Structure 1
Amino acid sequence: MKMSTLTIIGSNGLIGRALVDSTASILSSSPAGHIPGITDVAALARRPLIDFTLPSKPEFAMTITPDIGASIPKSTTVLFSALGLTYQKAGSYAAQRAVDHHLTVEIAKKAKEKCEGHLTTYILVTALFANSNAWFEHQRIKGDAERDIIALGFDRTIILHPGAVLGTRHFATPEEKKEHDRGYYTAALHVVKFLLSTPILQRWVAAASVSDADIAKATIQLLKDTDKKGVEIYSCTDMRNLAKKYEEQSM
């Protein structure tokens, strides 16, 4: 049987980790566990995942490597990239652009060359309002990444536009958690959670937020449609609807 690998990069981040956990769970639901159109999953990370138990299934592989591009399997048909840094962690927009744009595009180019036509679908996680002409640098960085990934001409390019991402983050040390909790993004998430508890504002805030688990479910649901081609962009609301559809079909 010809291998068709889903490769996940950015596995240490909130969204990438959610997809790693979801795919590992699906493949572990023996004997019928499977992902549409996918024979195996390769999760790549630059440091070990915290609180993660590797499934005892040959269809799931975890690789810790400093060179993500060189470690992408040649059998990759779907590449999911949630690679990125927050401004807080990067320390500057130049450092953030080096990862969120330069490294992301460089890895995509290497993967396309290495996989020799097998890699047909690229899934890129960017941000709400991502646009090369945006007022804010964060959105400009993400918009530039979208532009340059689309220019690579994959058969199918899926772009996910999360806003505030709700979920459980994993930290290597208590100090790392303290540093994260002091950041502006954490403060913003507390505001989002408060607003979601306010009935009159729920619909508006919900349009700009999505959980890490729903992003993972939406991704798997999108993989079920193997005939689609071109560029697709999905909002927070789109992803929640896809996640709901995935749940309904999994019952």
Structure 2
Amino acid sequence: MTKYLLFAAVLLLTACNSNNNAVETTITETPLTGIAAPQNINLNIIGIYPHDTSAYTQGLEIYNGKLYEGTGDYETSSLRITDIKTGKVEHKHMMGTNKIFGEGITIFNDKIYQLTWQSHVVNVYDLNNIDRPIKTFNWPYEGWGITHTSTELIISDGSANLYFVNPDNFKIRTTTQVTDNIGPVNNLNELELINGFVFANVYQSDTIVKIDPANGHVVGKIDLSGLKDQYFKNLLVPERTDVLNGIAYDSTTKKIYITGKRWPKMFEAFIN
């Protein structure tokens, strides 16, 4: 039986090769970018603190020992100052409306810049008074995350792009596409500049990527899958406790702070 099957297979192969109308199957591989795969980065968690579960976290900053947080959701969007260790909200400015949805924040030259999602408005506050903006700018894209270098702002809009922006007039100077060894990395959200690299939450994932702003290449990744289940599984609220989002860095202590949208906890860590 085996001989007959083998003979039949040979005849079939010969017939296919001699048929000018035979379909040729080509196996293709996903093209690579030529960029090295990002290195895995570990966080060494050294502290766990309370976090306000009403905070739909969009932006997180540490400045002079205080935690500044921008939150989203229509009507309840806010800018707030919080005690890091207790999670107590010390001051809150409600800035949301049925049309205004707060997004990322950054502190640059004693001013707080706060993006909004789809209204194309950027609010600028004096660091000493968050109760009302001192000016506003127009932003042509969606507002997601924002951080800064010593001379310019860096903004994400939910795509794979990072926009480098003049803080004085909000004009875009350059645009860089963020790419890893697979291709463009979309859904870039909250941003934080740490030691010259942009760290970004990838929205709807448990991943933080480390980006070289000079070329947009992802050089490292932090995988925080399982963080919720490990540290506050019993505090999860279905339909309310949302995704990882929020990165703050204290350049004085070299500590990084991580939280999520309506998370009950905030994590203090060192990057290994």
Tell me, yes or no, whether TM beats 0.5.
no
Structure with the larger helix share: 1
* Larger of the two Rg values belongs to structure: 2
Structure with the larger strand share: 2
**TM-score (norm. length: structure 2):** 0.29
